[in-house]
């Protein structure tokens, strides 16, 4: 039978539960297209992916008629991925105004006279796509410029980043410090302490 994914509400991340539970590799992560890949030839209709999806974005159609019906329902679905972020992760997606590609790093980050906090992230990872702890609450006491940067290999190598996402702090082109790895809201206090040490040293 055939698998359908409602990409209007699917966050299309490599951490997809459906990929993790699929016993045959019928669902996989396409690195080049940066998307979940469906291979219906490999599907044995076990239904594990459908059950594993927390937002019910995956369907296993039993026959062609059901496939078409689901396809129509998906077409009519007016929701979008960001509508479900808060329920799913307790987090908001990052506002596009703060997003830059690494080719703007020189201008937007190094070239700034202000204290700049750049969050280097991997756009294949949902943990990196979300602003899990609002920056406003982390930097309430400081005047900063914040940018979220898709981390290319050169940046990662240059600043010796071992884990993404990573916060890198710059002033007048000088790297003041970096904080690597994902922090959820439970680790906010720890993160604030690390930020304070860098910003106030
Ligand atoms: S129904 Fe089973 S085999 Fe088919 S994609 Fe889902 S988990 Fe994989």
pLDDT at position 1 is 67
Query: Can you tell me which atom of ligand 1 is nearest the CA of 52?
Result: 7
Ligand 1 neighbours, Cβ below 6 Å, are: 3, 21-22, 24, 26-27, 43-49, 60
Higher pLDDT among residues 175 and 185, named by residue: 175
Tokens of 27: 């669902």
Residue 90 banded pLDDT, cuts 50, 70, 90 = confident
- Residue-wise pLDDT tens digits, 1-37: 699 999 999 989 888 999 999 999 999 999 999 899 9
Tokens of 125: 């990872």
Top mutation candidate among 2, 21, 26 for ligand 1, by most atoms within 8 Å of CB: 26
- Residue-wise pLDDT tens digits, 123-165: 778 778 777 788 888 888 889 999 999 998 999 999 999 999 9
Percent of the chain with pLDDT over 90: 65
- Note if the pTM is more than 0.75: no
CA–centroid distance, residue 165 to ligand 1 (Å)? 31
Tokens of 148: 């979220």
Top mutation candidate among 1, 5, 22 for ligand 1, by most atoms within 8 Å of CB: 22
Strand, coil or helix: what is 183? coil
pLDDT at position 15 is 87
Residue 62 banded pLDDT, cuts 50, 70, 90 = very high
pLDDT at position 25 is 97
Q: Please tell me the total number of residues recorded for the chain in this structure.
A: 201
Q: 180 and 162 in contact (C-beta within 8 Å)?
A: yes
Q: Which residues contact 103 (CB under 8 A, 6 or more apart)?
A: none
How far apart (Å, rounded) are the C-alpha atoms in residues 58 and 158? 40
pLDDT at position 136 is 81
* Neighbour count for residue 41 (Cβ, 10 Å): 7
The sign of the dihedral angle between the CA atoms of 97, 98, 103, 109 is: positive
How far apart (Å, rounded) are the C-alpha atoms in residues 192 and 201? 14
Owner of token pair 């790895």 = 181
CA–centroid distance, residue 49 to ligand 1 (Å)? 5
Higher pLDDT among residues 5 and 80, named by residue: 5
H-state helical runs in the chain: 17-21, 48-52, 64-76, 85-89, 105, 126-129, 135-138, 153-158, 188-199
Tell me the backbone φ, ψ of residue 34, rounded to 5 degrees. Answer: 50, 55
Query: Can you tell me which atom of ligand 1 is nearest the CA of 38?
Result: 5
The number of helix segments (H) and strand segments (E) in the chain equals 9, 11
């Amino acid at each position: 039978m055939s698998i359908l994914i409602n990409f209007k509400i699917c966050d299309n991340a490599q951490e997809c539960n459906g990929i993790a539970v699929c016993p045959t590799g019928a669902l996989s992560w396409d690195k080049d297209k940066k998307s979940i890949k469906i291979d219906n030839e490999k599907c044995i209709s076990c239904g594990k992916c459908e059950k594993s999806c927390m937002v019910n974005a995956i369907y296993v159609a039993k026959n062609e008629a059901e496939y078409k019906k689901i396809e129509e329902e998906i077409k009519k679905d007016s929701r979008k991925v960001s509508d479900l972020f808060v329920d799913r992760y307790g987090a908001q997606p990052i506002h596009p105004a703060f997003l830059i590609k690494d080719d703007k790093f020189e201008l937007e980050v190094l070239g700034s006279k202000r204290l700049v906090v750049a969050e280097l992230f991997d756009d294949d990872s949902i943990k990196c796509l979300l602003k899990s702890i609002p920056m406003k609450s982390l930097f309430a006491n400081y005047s900063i410029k914040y940018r979220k940067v898709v981390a290319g290999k050169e940046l990662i190598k240059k600043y010796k980043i071992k884990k993404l996402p990573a916060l890198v702090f710059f002033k007048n082109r000088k790297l003041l410090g970096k904080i690597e790895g994902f922090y959820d809201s439970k680790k906010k206090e720890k993160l604030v302490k690390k930020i304070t040490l860098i910003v106030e040293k």
